[in-house]
Amino acid sequence: MSPVLLAVAVPLAFALAAFAMRSERARPWMVPAAGVCQVPVAAWLLAGRERFAPADGSWTGLDPLGALLLGYLCVLFGCCAFYAPPYLRLRSERPNRVFCSMLLVLFAMMNFFAVSQHVGLMWVTIETTTLSTAPLLYFNRNRRSIEATWKYLLIGSVGVALALLGSFFLGYAALHAGLGSSLVIGDLVANASSLSRPWLHSAFVLLLIGYGTKMGLAPMHTWKPDAYGEAPGLVGALLAGGFTSCAFVGLLRFYSICVAAGDGAFARELLLAFGLLSMAVGGVFMVRQRDFKRMLAYSSVEQMGILVLGTAVGGVGLFGALLHMLGNGFAKGVLFLSAANIHRHFGSKSTDEVRGALRILPASATLFLLGFFAVTGAPPFALFLSEFTILRAAVSEQRFAVAGAFLGLLLLVFIGMGATVLTLVQGEPLAGRERPAARPERVQKLVPIVALLALVLLLGVWVPQPLEAALWSAARFVEGIR
């Protein structure tokens, strides 16, 4: 077994153990236990990344892009995992065997995607990730959750079918040029200049739509509002921060093939169009949005647009996009977990019924408010630094129209999202809900949120040198600068 597959084997082993465990009360602790045990495994793999770099023809390995994703997933899951035991203790009326097991399978498959170096293996892992998420979305077992789950699966199936077709086109681009049938990313990049251009262009369009559906880029985003709106907060955090980041990294791998083939301009124009459209759609649908969990879904659509827009700008902009991926994931964790606390107390997701949360749930509401400032790019949070980096790159490239549109859409998002958030946290509580909760807010449900907020704040004021080096290494790797 390749050493990098240890990153997959550890959470899978915990998933099997969780499924076999009989105690409903002890089983949720397998989730944070897996997160803790994954830390030394990820640290060992990242410390020896050069030894675990993909060999010629290897289907797995750690390249700079995969190493960045693997480390990020370990931190994100490690923080979110500690939310599972207190949450499931409150949901003791529901069996948690499937929930805990599938949560760990989801983590394993995201790690598998990070180390995958073959187009077919990437497709299999991203689809397995999708399937493992479906039971998590259906956890509440009501009419709305089953509708959200089916919509998620149906739209995701269309996307994955297009991604599979794009993978076939990519393989045929190599066959058409007499390069054999290898679909290993390294081989495709090395021989990119010989690939058939019409087939390569068609492949990239299909892969952009397919993996863009998994990211939730507009107009392929229609599964997100229902899925995020009905998913438990922990699942929403991992979807918005982990699953979509995997899809984005997959898209970057295909983009790197286009860059190596000399067709970077073609790919960048497509990415720019989808980026601006996603930001616009997310911003428009956040205006006057009453359901605060659906609001977070449209925020995710907007953030995915920023990621591909930064990629389209290139250079420093790609560095900013990768930093934005990290900051967005941590900020979404803050928002989804604190939103889950608020939703659990009020029993509603609508600002028609949820108001004055600062008076009733001061800790969760404060964290939700800070998460809003973080995700909308307010200083000193990480997303301010990443968005400023992308803006600076656009201006330095003299793409002033793009820079202006970027700023205008960021303002639209801030205003639209801010109206909902401020109504929720500062509005007048409804009759009968003026008093604080009967019990103080559980510390166990606040610590993971504080940890995620600390990370997004830290990356806004100081990017550690090893992380900065890893971000630059990944950006240069994507753009073919070795």
Give residue 482's pLDDT: 56
Angle at 203 between CA 200 and CA 207, to 5 degrees: 140
* 10 in any annotated domain: no
Whether 57 shows a pLDDT value over 90: the answer reads: no
* 25 in any annotated domain: no
* 482 in any annotated domain: yes
Which element (helix H / strand E) includes 108? Answer: helix 97-115
Sign of the Cα pseudo-torsion (258, 261, 264, 266, in order): negative
Q: What is the pTM of this model?
A: 0.96
Number of domains in the chain: 1
* 434 in any annotated domain: yes
137-to-79, 142, 223, 275, 322 alpha-carbon distances in Å: 20, 11, 12, 27, 28
The 8-class DSSP code of residue 142 comes to S
pLDDT digits (tens, 9 = 90+) for 199-252: 999 999 999 999 999 999 999 999 999 999 999 999 999 999 999 999 999 999
Burial 24-33 (b: 16+ CB within 10 A, else e): eeebbbbbbe
**Phi then psi for 220, rounded to 5 degrees?**
-95, 20
Whether 436 shows a pLDDT value over 60: the answer reads: no
Whether 39 shows a pLDDT value over 80: the answer reads: yes
pLDDT digits (tens, 9 = 90+) for 5-38: 999 999 999 999 999 999 899 999 999 999 999 9
The pLDDT-based confidence of 181 (bands split at 50, 70, 90) is low
Out of 78-92, 122-136, 400-414, 433-447, pick the least confident. Answer: 433-447
Neighbours of 18 (CB within 10 A): 27
* Of 49 and 247, more confident: 247
* 203 in any annotated domain: no
**Phi then psi for 169, rounded to 5 degrees?**
-60, -40
Whether 434 shows a pLDDT value over 90: the answer reads: no
Report the percentage of the chain scoring pLDDT > 90: 78
Residue 142 in tokens? 């009501």
Residues 6+ apart with CB under 8 A from 269: 312
* 330 in any annotated domain: yes
Instruction: Please choose, from the candidates 264, 252, 250, 251, the residue with its C-alpha nearest in 3D space to the C-alpha of residue 197.
Output: 264
Residue with tokens 């600076």: 392
Whether 438 shows a pLDDT value over 50: the answer reads: no
Residue 263 in tokens? 């067709």
Give the range of the structural domain holding residue 314, as residue numbers without chain letter: 279-482
pLDDT digits (tens, 9 = 90+) for 238-265: 999 999 999 999 999 999 999 999 999 9
Mean pLDDT of 149-160: 92
Give residue 355's pLDDT: 86
The 8-class DSSP code of residue 428 comes to P
Which element (helix H / strand E) includes 412? Answer: helix 400-426
Answer for the pair 358, 425: CB distance below 8 angstroms, yes or no.
yes
* 377 in any annotated domain: yes
* 345 in any annotated domain: yes
Answer for the pair 132, 124: CB distance below 8 angstroms, yes or no.
no
Instruction: In whole angstroms, give the CA distance from residue 277 to residue 181.
Output: 35
Answer for the pair 241, 175: CB distance below 8 angstroms, yes or no.
no
Instruction: Please choose, from the candidates 114, 73, 102, the residue with its C-alpha nearest in 3D space to the C-alpha of residue 14.
Output: 102
Give residue 174's pLDDT: 83
Mean residue pLDDT of the chain comes to 92
Residues 6+ apart with CB under 8 A from 93: none
